[in-house]
Amino acid sequence: MKHQPRKYYRLLIFFVCTVFITFVGQVAIAQSNYRWGNRGKQSVEMIVDGDFIVTMNEAQPVIKNGAIAIKDGKIVAVDTKNRIMASYRAAKILPGDGMVVMPGLVNGHSHTAMVLFRGLADDLSLEDWLQNYIFPAEARFVDQNFVRVGEQLACLEMIRGGTTTFVDMYFEPDIAAKVVDQCGLRAVIAPSAIDFPSPGFRGWDDAFAAAVNFVQRWKGKNSRIIPALAPHAPYTVSPTHLTQAIQAARQYDVPLTIHLAETQTEVQDIQQRYNATPVKHLDNLGFLEPRVFAAHVVWPSNSEINLMAQRGIGVIHNPDSNLKLASGFAPVPAMVRAGIKVGLGTDGAASNNDLDMWEAIRLTALIHKGTTLDPTALPARTVLRMATLGGAEALGLADQIGAIKVGMQADLLQVNLTEAHLTPLYDVISHLVYAARADDVDSVIVNGQLLMYKRRMLTLNPEQVKREAIRIGERIKAELRPLD
């Protein structure tokens, strides 16, 4: 009996050793299986999958149960999930149950920091809104801190809504570029230049010189930031200065954006000044060429639509602000038929009053059915293309963004299809155009980097940004009160 504890002790040691050897063996087998399972697979940084991949690529328009492999910020493979998983291994995998993966939205026209003027002046014509409210407010309040906070707030709103590339036509471009660099979005930053005083400038000469200097310093500096030039409009910039702007854009090989033919008042004004409509006025100056993309273009004639198509310029349709400012209905179906590169934009949130591209998509699809009395005027697929690849074409970036295909930048969205307003599902593109909302965007990727995952922001602090924006708004309200 006195030796029995020793016997149990030996049995315990034997049991522990057996368990340990079994565990080590299982680990070795698992590691071996993992190695054999991944043998021959290419290593990538991320795999994104979804119930549907809407590619905007005619070669493979919609892939069911698909996936995308991403490496070095670019798409290296697009196929069914089974084939991608059989060929690639990734450090990060974004599951796609209940999701559609699509290219990020391209907001082709905005004045982003103007989110801080959201709701400042409503229910006015463009001329009244600009001359009597916005220009004076900008002169009083726009400075570097205003642009920094406004840019952050705008980027926060756009990331949450699935915009991955935007055009910023505003002031303090270095501040804007720094915010874009930090938050991870892609942007065409086009500092606005105008013939009369604007924030920080006495007039055209110093404003344009600063814009050119920005272009020189930022061209090629950051792959996500494209510097551009932005003479404001034919009615605010003289012919001499417009010519100077297009010559500089050619010299530095950068895009140029401008407001064009936005209202009937503009058309009449330019006709009186130069004996030509705004579009023909620019053409007479040798201004219209593929590097140019014009915002609004609400009032072109049929001959001018053909002229713009021949010149190869891009047009950015802004349905929200066109409606709110009562500017009119742009002949978008005729532009698309003529072969013009047409994209979509939100304009600034001071005239919209948001940066919601899904709203712009839905309005575009509906408005032109009503104005033409033709339900086929702009089909859903055409409008979704305008918000992605069409916008990229208008900006001169179609070789980089706007579609999901090998070699393109990995600017992608996962959109949640499981909510009540997206149920049941017959046609995924129909849902994206007519039913989807900004808050259905689940995850956002730009240049292969996650900016938002499961609605959680990863590159901006939402609460801090909103606190700073509220403080600026309170100051504006206090200082503008005597003018009410």
C-alpha Rg value of the chain to the nearest Å: 27
pLDDT tens-digit profile of 179-197?
999 999 999 999 999 999 9
What the block records as the tokens of 224 is 């996500």
Pairing of strands 62-71, 74-80: antiparallel
Flag whether 66 is in a domain. no
- Could you give the number of structural domains in the chain? 1
Backbone angles phi, psi at 432, to 5 degrees: -65, -35
Mean pLDDT within 298-305: 97
Please give the biggest Cα pair distance in the chain.
Answer: 119
Flag whether 89 is in a domain. no
Give the span between the Cα atoms of 210 and 247, in whole angstroms.
Answer: 16
pLDDT at 394 over 80: yes
Flag whether 159 is in a domain. yes
Q: Which helix (H) or strand (E) holds 106?
A: strand 105-110
Give the span between the Cα atoms of 483 and 251, in whole angstroms.
Answer: 45
pLDDT tens-digit profile of 119-139?
988 898 888 988 898 888 898
What's the CATH code of the domain at 184?
3.20.20.140
Give the span between the Cα atoms of 333 and 371, in whole angstroms.
Answer: 10
| Region class of 280: left (phi > 0), else alpha (psi between -120 and 50), else beta | alpha
What the block records as the tokens of 355 is 């940066």
pLDDT tens-digit profile of 327-359?
999 999 999 999 999 999 999 999 899 999 999
Flag whether 32 is in a domain. no
Flag whether 311 is in a domain. yes
pLDDT at 144 over 90: yes
Flag whether 343 is in a domain. yes
Flag whether 366 is in a domain. yes
HEC letters along 303-345: HHHHHHHHHCCEEEECHHHHHHCCCCCCCHHHHHHHCCEEEEC
Flag whether 68 is in a domain. no
pLDDT at residue number 40: 74
Give the domain extent around 239. Answer: 105-401+454-462
pLDDT at residue number 349: 92
pLDDT band of residue 175 (cuts 50, 70, 90) is very high
pLDDT tens-digit profile of 217-247?
999 999 999 999 999 999 999 999 999 999 9
| DSSP category for residue 169 | -
Q: Which residues pair with 70 in a beta bridge?
A: 46, 75
What the block records as the tokens of 432 is 């994206």
- Considering the entire predicted model, what is its pTM? 0.91
